[in-house]
Structure 1
């Protein structure tokens, strides 16, 4: 089976190229494999040139059709949403040279689900002659607590409760006596030393699998194989939503609303499942319309989202111990949804708004610090890299979370990219506002007499508007010492 998985991965990569690895695409490829070889020969004989890799592929097709059909039985159907990652993990587990595997991605992306499927498959796999252990790592991590949790799944009782070294030796011996094993540590946030805990990594083919929101944690632990779990494609997100909604067909008007809701979930599995669950028994078109209200602002206010999704996302923010990191992260929410934000522009803003430490050495040192901050936010999946490498972007729900945070302290008003024709009503310009972003709207002018009272306002972003004039009175109650104006 390992040989087949290697073959399938190669064919999968060769055929897909820029296509999403969705269930629909995968099924189409399997159907393509089922085309009789004669038909495939005929199709290529009419071409000008038969390439060697095509001829080799034709032979491989004949040898692997039956195993292709078995793939969906081998991996659970629901796991096809992450089939490429699943195959990658499975191949690493079958590779004797890989002792540790790290699975990372943003909160709610499906890391635990993916790891659980692998865990269950190992338990059922007849060719895997070993033990499988699952431990959920406490958010308040300590070596003592983790040793206790591992001892619990091993049914081990320590002879000495207070000596971590002796406890590690006892865990090491217990693992050694059990022979080959795979230990899965779910939701790891801290650096873990396998030897210090008592995990005999590499002995008798023993392996460690961790899930984390941070690629940095995977590197800290020394994972030899690191796999990122990405968001679903639009088609995969729609199929998952319909599955959890429990419906195959929807009224055309309801379907349009649903697709808007799904888009606002940003293809995040946890958000899709939560939203579908909250709307499962809704049939009234009026209730669906009501559900669509506020989509332009945030999806986190929908039923269930604030109790299930928001706390999970918030924990990633809370784990940023550095207030400077938090300030720079919140600043990124001032840009419109799905915006590709130039790194250089962000760093310039961080420096001008004193969000980074002032360096008396050189301006270059401040720029380097800005890049380090953005890299750190990328590593914990609060920002995403773009394909060009010069921009970053925020997942739609991460941005929603940042805006929710900034409604309190510091106070932001973010209405970027909402197609506004006028600035918000004067009542929304409260005295405690620190930053306001009206970027990328269609505001042409600010009405005469408009004079918001915002003595703490430090940043006003009006770029991307066809703004013709701003009345002088607009700046009367805005402190010039904390005021920065950006417009073009």
Structure 2
């Protein structure tokens, strides 16, 4: 995954958050704002900055929270700290036992714990996390879409993450557009401003939609984009996650049903799950999403699909390029589409067969963990 490029306002916000966190009197920091405004980007930058500090901290943990239940958070922390329990043993522990095991390890460490997308208030002590203090030098940072978790009594300070200003949004939007696109018709520069405005200052939406429109050189294509984005804004106004209908435009612009099916398939993996490319291609072939009898050609097509989805930023590569994952808002958009296809009575064999494959993969992974623990 290429280095994250922050806008000017995001840079300022990062500096503010980082300087706040460096204060020895601040043990916990809450970053709150709507989905898609760049909270995860900010949290990732904080993690990178902490790691650059070298040995300043004994342990740096990044937890992508999916449901907000204490047990699921404990499970992820135990996986990272290596508590000394085998997989079989800790699965038999109670919530209090796991809290004790986590506390025993973290209480001897100077740690940084980063929670991404915390949906509700949690009790750190119930999880087993020692409260950060000036004495232990530990830090807890979390992002949330709701301001409610910021009200926890252990939160030191909070920072709101907001959408970009119109000018900054347009600057980000046009970075992806090709000069040949902007010069292809005298009306297009003005139309790009309208499309950028309809992305409502969400950095994620601006990136996805600009990639989608990067090579569109016909005025009619830009008018179509504006029409779709306007109608979706009106139809879904007042919804909790305003960015989702905007992101759906990128999905609707995918070329071919197999590309759309392959994209939706990725959403069936857990949140923030790193999917090995070779495994994903095998799954696509097995499900018939890539319907080519020649195995070698099918594999090539699979990797081309992954490349296209990464280029459009619907998937993100890891640092070494072996795995891909979905941004949590992109995944929510994909799950919403799949849910609509099922509940609407559309005959979509992908949804059910992919779900079966996902459950099989989960059982396979658990089996692998068990074998390693024996």
Q: What interval of TM-score do these two structures reach, taking the shorter chain for normalisation?
A: 0.5 to 0.7
Which of 224, 231, 245 aligns to 2:177? It is 245
Alignment of 1:24-43 (within 5 A): none
Matched, 1:141 2:71: no
CA deviation profile, 1:337-369 (whole Å, cap 9, x unmatched): xxxxxxxxxxxxxxxxxxxxxxxxxxxxxxxxx
State the shift of 1:132 in Å.
1.6
The answer to whether the 8 A contact 2:178-2:215 is kept is no
Q: Which one has a larger percent helix, Structure 1 or Structure 2?
A: 2
Which shows bigger deviation, 275-284 or 244-253? 244-253
Instruction: Give the 3 Å change call, closer, same or farther, for CA 222–202 of structure 1 in structure 2.
Output: closer
Compared CA separation, residues 164 and 246, structure 1 to 2 (3 A) = farther
Q: Which of these two proteins has the greater Rg computed from alpha carbons?
A: 1
Cα pair 2:30 2:143 within 8 Å, conserved = yes
Post-superposition shift, 1:246?
5.1
- Cα displacement (A) at 1:220: 2.5
CA contact (8 A) 2:120 2:146 kept: no
Q: Is the aligned partner of 1:222 residue 2:134?
A: no
Task: Tell whether 2:121 aligns with 1:191.
Answer: yes
1:286 corresponds to 2:209: no
Paired position in structure 2 for 1:395 = none
Aligned equivalent of 2:39: 111
What CA deviation, in whole Å up to 9, does each residue of 1:258-291 have, x standing for no partner?
Answer: 1111111111112211211211222233322332
Please say if 1:122 is aligned against 2:50.
Answer: yes
Equivalence for 1:304: 250
Q: Label 1:141 to 1:126 Cα distance change in 2 as closer, same or farther (>3 A).
A: closer
- Taking structure 1 as reference, are residues 205 and 246 closer, same or farther at Cα in structure 2, changes over 3 Å only? farther
How far the C-alpha of 1:165 sits from its partner, in A, is 1.2
In the aligned structure 1, how far is the partner of 2:157 from the partner of 2:180?
Answer: 39
8 A Cα contact 2:131 2:154, kept in partner: no
d(CA) in 2 for partners of 1:305 and 1:174? 44
Q: How does 1:54-73 map to 2 (within 5 A)?
A: none
Q: Secondary structure at the match of 1:289?
A: helix
What's the secondary structure of 1:226's corresponding residue? strand
Query: 2:163 matched to which residue of 1?
Result: 231
Q: Is the 8 A contact 1:180 1:206 kept in 2?
A: yes
Q: Conserved in 1, the CA contact under 8 Å of 2:7 and 2:172? A: no
Instruction: Give the direction of change, closer, same or farther, for the CA distance of 1:125–1:79 in structure 2 (3 Å limit).
Output: farther
Whether 1:80 and 2:8 are equivalent positions in the alignment is: yes
Output one character per residue of 1:118-162: Cα deviation in whole Å (capped at 9) or x when no partner: 111111124734432100011x33211110011112233445433
Equivalence for 1:256: 190
Write the distance in 1 (CA, Å) between the matches of 2:129 and 2:36.
Answer: 28
Cα RMSD for the two superposed structures: 3.0
Change (3 A) 1:286 1:240: same
What residue is the counterpart of 1:206 in the other structure? Answer: 138
Is the 1:191–1:221 Cα contact (8 Å) retained in structure 2? no
For residues 128 and 225 of structure 1, the distance between their equivalents in structure 2, rounded to whole angstroms, comes to 22
Q: Is the 8 A contact 2:170 2:193 kept in 1?
A: yes
What is the TM-score when the length of structure 2 is the normalising length?
A: 0.57
Alignment check: 8 A CA contact 2:121 2:151 kept: no
Partner of 1:41: none
Unaligned runs of 5+ residues in structure 1 are 1-74, 312-400, 402-407, 409-488
Alignment of 1:400-411 (within 5 A): none
Q: Is the 8 A contact 1:271 1:305 kept in 2?
A: no
- TM-score, normalisation: structure 1: 0.44
Superposed, 1:311-350 pairs within 5 Å as: none
Alignment of 1:400-479 (within 5 A): none
In 2, Cα distance between equivalents of 1:165 and 1:121: 33
Residues of 2 paired with 1:286 and 1:76: CA distance? 33
CA distance in 1, matches of 2:98, 2:64: 19
CA distance in 2, matches of 1:167, 1:109: 34
1:286-342 CA distances to partner (integer Å, 9 max, x unpaired)? 32233232454335366226799xx9xxxxxxxxxxxxxxxxxxxxxxxxxxxxxxx
**Offset of residue 221 of structure 1:** 5.3
Report the 3-state secondary structure (helix = DSSP H, G, I; strand = E; otherwise coil) of the residue aligned with 1:208: strand
Instruction: Give the drift of 1:205.
Output: 0.7
In 1, distance between residues paired with 2:176 and 2:6? 11
